[in-house]
Amino acid sequence: MIKKAVIPAAGLGTRFLPATKAMPKEMLPIIDTPTIQYVVQEAVDSGIEDILIITGKGKRSIEDHFDRNFELEARLEEKEDAIWLNEIRRLSDMANIHFVRQKEQNGLGDAICYARHHVGNEPFAVLLGDTIMDSVIPVTQQLIDTYEQYRGTVIAVEEVPADKVNRYGIVGGKALSDSILELNTLIEKPSIDKAPSNLAIAGRYILTPEIFPALAQTPKGKNGEVQLTDAMLLVLKREALFAHRIEGKRHDIGNKLDFLKTTVEFALKRKEFAGPFLKFLEEMIEEHKK
């Protein structure tokens, strides 16, 4: 049973400046809900009970978001606003949420090292804090189901266009079924000619404790950072690794265009906005056609 998850949220968010100068990218809201709240919800919906969020400098608002806020609660009580009172209390009660700070910006692999003590000797889920998944079955649940079947590392993947393989970790391997591959290679942000496929790592993982000794041996790689992908390649020497093609849509909130598209998509799904917002979009399109 996988009950623990790690959410790395320590990155600087340089792709979203200036908003992220003093604000964590994981707190960027899609409409009214911070990105990381969707990520925590996915973990909870997948049966996770214990979450470690890896933060860093300037990320205090993430801790505050999942903490009690007695002053706000008292004010909502006075106003007899039961709906928001319950929602605000639910937020601090979603799961057992813990925090640890990454001291230096040494990459995703280095951030995961900080989870060693917390997760101990169990497999655990990893959900990148700037990526929202929109799916019927939570993507982390999909990976857990595959883990239960194959008992090894499971990496979420999705196809990307060939000209975008250099933005992702790319995997290669043998298909075991329509959705599962057994991997024989992984490479972080390869050029098109070095990419083993167009299957990109999509920001969700089930890792085994073998990742920790592997990370300890992983030298700095792409962009001078310790890459999780490089450490998983070391794990491959000792254990089988699997990739799971996800069913669902990935939204990378750290990317401005994706952020905009996600906001529009999610607004159109909300009952209170769908009608007037669609009308507004239609008017905008007409205006821009001129």
Binding residues for ligand G1P, per CB under 6 A? Answer: 108, 128, 131, 168-169, 188, 200-201, 203, 227-229, 252
- Nearest to ligand G1P of 210, 252 (CB atom): 252
If the CB atoms of residues 76 and 128 are measured against ligand G1P, the closer one turns out to be: 128
Distance CA 162, CA 187 (A): 15
Task: Say which residues have a Cβ less than 8 Å from residue 252's Cβ, sequence separation at least 6.
Answer: 130, 131, 203, 258
Give 97's strand partners. 51
Question: ∠ CA(23), CA(48), CA(127), 5° rounding?
Answer: 40
Least CB distance to ligand G1P at residue 25 (A): 11
Residue with smaller CB distance to ligand G1P, 152 or 169: 169
Considering the complex, what minimum distance in angstroms separates the CB of residue 148 from ligand G1P? 24
Cβ-closest position to ligand G1P: 169
Q: Are strands 96-101 and 50-55 parallel, antiparallel or unpaired?
A: parallel
**Shortest Å distance, C-beta 184 to ligand G1P:** 17
Q: Give dist(CA 229, CA 188) in Å, integer.
A: 6
3-class DSSP state for residue 170? strand
Whose Cβ is closer to ligand G1P: residue 128's or residue 243's? 128
Least distance (Å) from ligand G1P to the CB of residue 189?
Answer: 7
With b for 16 or more beta-carbon neighbours within 10 A and e for fewer, the 108-142 pattern comes to bbbbbbbbeeebeeebbbbbbbbbbbeeeebbbbb
Please, what's the b/e burial string for 245-270 (b: 16 or more CB within 10 A of its CB; e: otherwise)? bbebebbbbbbeebbeebbeebbeee
Q: CB 68: neighbour CB atoms within 10 A? A: 13
Nearest residue (CB) to ligand G1P, 81 versus 159: 159
Closest contact distance (angstroms) between CB of 93 and ligand G1P is: 29
The least CB distance from residue 203 to ligand G1P, in Å, is 4
| Smallest separation (angstroms) from ligand G1P to the CB of 102 | 13
* Residue nearer to ligand G1P on the CB measure, 51 or 226: 226
In this complex, which beta carbon is closest to ligand G1P, that of residue 139 or of residue 228?
228
Dihedral angle of Cα 163, 171, 218, 25, to the nearest 10 degrees: 60
